[in-house]
Amino acid sequence: MTMHRRDFLKTAAAGGALAGLGTLLPRSANAAFTRHKAAKRLKILVLGGTRFLGPHTVKYARARGHEVTLFNRGRSNPDLFQDLERLVGDRDDQLEALEGREWDAVIDTCGYVPRIVKMSADLLRDHVKHYVFISTISVFADFNEIGLNEDSAVGKIDDESIEDVTAESYGPLKALCEQAAEASMPGRVCNIRPGLIVGPLDRSDRFTYWPVRVSQGSEVLAPHSPDEPTQVIDVRDLAEFIVDCIEREVCGLFNTVSPPGEMTMGELLDISKRISGSNATFTWADQDFLAEQSVEAWSDMPCWIPTTMEAGVGTIRVDRALAQGLTFRPITETVRDTLDWWKTLPETRTLNMRSGLTAEREAEVLAAWHER
């Protein structure tokens, strides 16, 4: 893979600009090290493991030589990992398959309700050394705060017993899940808070929309300004960080997104055009016009939230994760691999993108923009 000079400088700067953290190796140079087996083979239990982050994490753990056991309901992608031990059960009321077993670590990829996370952690605390909980940056209470970090306040809900996961309750419930795991296994929990996870196997299309739409060429409706910041994390970088934390028994709270200032919407679209070789042109419609047209940030225009709406967007700090070895492959690699994966999907899937504007709706908004 060719490493563009700009990608290298941005990747290196993410670590080098932080005093005492050292300079991150470019991904192509670092890749040679990740192929080696781990010094010690570990037994890892994965709760979930068959959707998006799960398969990437399982694949990397196996590449490192670890023994992986999956526990889930057996409903999502049941054909995956036929050669692995797979325990079947429901985390809400069927944990019997986990009883009397020993593992070095557990990765909880699918905990959304604190009561259920507590049940899993309580059952496993005497049988595992390390609990890795996959949380989210949505736990933060105020996205108007510039430079959100692991010590920033998290959201709260009046009734902590509710279990209905909505847009409003999702973040606070995840924060309570973090606390439930830590209360059950104090000092042995690694709470990892990713932002928007992107790359191959993503079912949400919240990032995929842009490489795919740009690859189709012609006039592309884009949000507000090419200088608008965005932060993402390649699913494979996140998977590698998770396994690395297990191997070194790292505990604590860690934000895991690309560093502040790493990428703008304009850069994402320009890179998508360069990688796909399309003839796309970009029309940057201001946020007031988009609002008038009922074009929603994040859903209709993925990866984007106006800084006038939430000033802290694009400024989330990742100093702690960088200090623990989190690295980032060039966004060119993420875009290229996402497009390659998309091309392997059946037409029934690719004709029904789950985020972004439909072609018809985009054409309507562009027409209204030009008429104005």
What pLDDT, on a 0 to 100 scale, did the predictor assign at position 214?
98
pTM for the full predicted model: 0.90
CA dihedral sign, ordered 38, 41, 46, 50: positive
Cα 57-143-171 angle, rounded to 5 deg: 50
* pLDDT score recorded for residue 36: 81
Q: Are 201 and 235 in contact (CB under 8 A)?
A: yes
Which tokens is 72 given?
């889930």
Distance of CA 327 to CAs 23, 63, 97, 149, 200, Å? 10, 18, 36, 18, 18
Q: If pLDDT is split at 50, 70 and 90, which confidence band does 31 have?
A: very low
260, 197 Cβ separation under 8 angstroms: no
Q: For residue range 192-206, what is the model confidence (pLDDT) as tens digits? A: 999 999 999 999 999
Q: What is the CA angle 210-75-49, rounded to 5? A: 60
- 25 pLDDT band, cuts 50/70/90, is very low
Strand ranges inside 235-350, DSSP E: 252-256, 281-285
Q: Render pLDDT for 110-148 as a digit per residue (tens, 0 to 9).
A: 999 999 999 999 999 999 999 999 999 999 999 999 999
- pLDDT bracket for residue 251 (50, 70, 90): very high
What pLDDT shows up at residue 35?
Answer: 55
Contact 106, 132 (CB under 8 A): yes
CA distances from 344 to 200, 227, 352, 354 (A): 11, 32, 15, 17
Question: What pLDDT is stored for residue 7 in this prediction?
Answer: 40
Mean pLDDT of the 102-115 span: 97
**40 CB-contact burial (10 Å; exposed 0-12 / middle 13-18 / buried 19+):** exposed
The confidence score (pLDDT) of residue 30 equals 43
| Torsions phi, psi for 67 (to 5 deg) | -95, 125
- What's the token pair of residue 8? 């290298």
Mean per-residue pLDDT, 148-152: 98
Q: Are 246 and 132 in contact (CB under 8 A)?
A: yes
pLDDT mean over 218-225: 98
Question: Quick check: 22 pLDDT over 70?
Answer: no
364: tokens are 């309507």
Residue written as token pair 């990992």 = 81
Question: Shortest CA distance to 50 belongs to which of 88, 79, 85?
Answer: 79
Residue-wise pLDDT for 53-68, tens only, equals: 999 999 999 999 999 9
Average pLDDT, the chain: 91
Contacts of 149 (CB under 8 A, 6+ apart): 255, 316, 317, 319, 320
* pLDDT per position as a tens digit, 283-315: 999 999 999 999 999 999 999 999 999 999 999
Residue range 30-54: mean pLDDT, rounded: 84
52: left (phi over 0), alpha (psi -120 to 50) or beta: left
The pLDDT, as a whole number, for residue 158 is 95
> Is it the case that residue 14 has pLDDT exceeding 90?
no
The answer, yes or no, to whether residue 81 has pLDDT greater than 60, is yes
